[in-house]
Chains A and B, each alone.
Chain A
Amino acid sequence: QSVLTQPPSVSGAPGQRVTISCTGRSSNIGAGYDVNWYQQLPGTAPKLLIYGNSNRPSGVPDRFSGSRSGTSASLAITGVQAADEADYYCQSYDSRLFGWVFGGGTKLTVL
């Protein structure tokens, strides 16, 4: 049971907009700690996709965007492509656990 809750899977047709939710609690996202998102393509290491709730590292397409509100955060992918098929993880800091926590991950399938 992960501290941050994500849907196990989402899907979308090419070109559609897909969103992935990440629900936390008052000791992590709700406490104001930033949310980061990672993309893990099959068989590869994770890659930082969004940091500080909504910032994209250099090289990440602007099709990817993030937001945070209350005890939740979300990742949106507009114009989804086959190359976006991957596992996506949210992450934040938890003041009750005194450490970083991840969501359980969401598998994106492009139909």
Chain B
Amino acid sequence: EVQLMESGGGLVQPGGSLRLSCVASGVTFSNYAMTWVRQAPGKGLEWVSSINAGGGSTYYADSVKGRFTISRDNSKNTLYLQMNSLRAEDTASYYCATWELDAFNIWGQGTMVTVS
């Protein structure tokens, strides 16, 4: 069974940094493109960033471009999101998901980031 487990969320001050991790199990991680999606409390879903299977191509929403960096370590089955210059509006639950068939297929349970 494919499972994704996010970690690294927490409380951080405005202007601070945080690195999220997403560990995959039950899947050949290196075969999958991956993505991060966030959801502010009581709000809808927002695409944040995506990366292809090999890690050579990355994509960002305008709201995080220049502040967030997506990366992956296929030897560790792990996806990362380095978040710098955090703002109050970055407060959200952050989900990682597999990017397959032009859709976000398997999702993790999410990790909460609070900027305050």
A46 — nearest CB in chain B belongs to which residue? Answer: B107
Q: How far is the CA of A52 from the CA of B105 in the complex (A)?
A: 12
Is A48 on the interface with B (CB-CB < 8 A)?
Answer: yes
Is B108 on the interface with A (CB-CB < 8 A)?
Answer: yes
A34 contacts which chain B residues (CB < 8 A)?
102-103
For window 60-109 of A, CB contacts with B under 8 Å fall at: 87, 89, 91, 93, 97-105
Q: Is the interface of A mostly helix, strand, loop or mixed?
A: strand
Size class of the contact patch on chain B: 20 to 34
Name B104's contact: one of A2, A48, A97, A99 (CB within 8 Å). Answer: A48
Q: How far is the CA of A90 from the CA of B109 in the complex (A)?
A: 20
Q: Is the CB of B107 within 8 A of A89?
A: no
Q: Count of A residues near B, CB < 8 Å?
A: 27
A51 — nearest CB in chain B belongs to which residue? Answer: B103
B110 contacts which chain A residues (CB < 8 A)?
45
Q: Is the CB of B46 within 8 A of A102?
A: yes
Chain B residues within CB distance 8 Å of chain A: 35, 37, 44-47, 50, 59-62, 95, 101-110
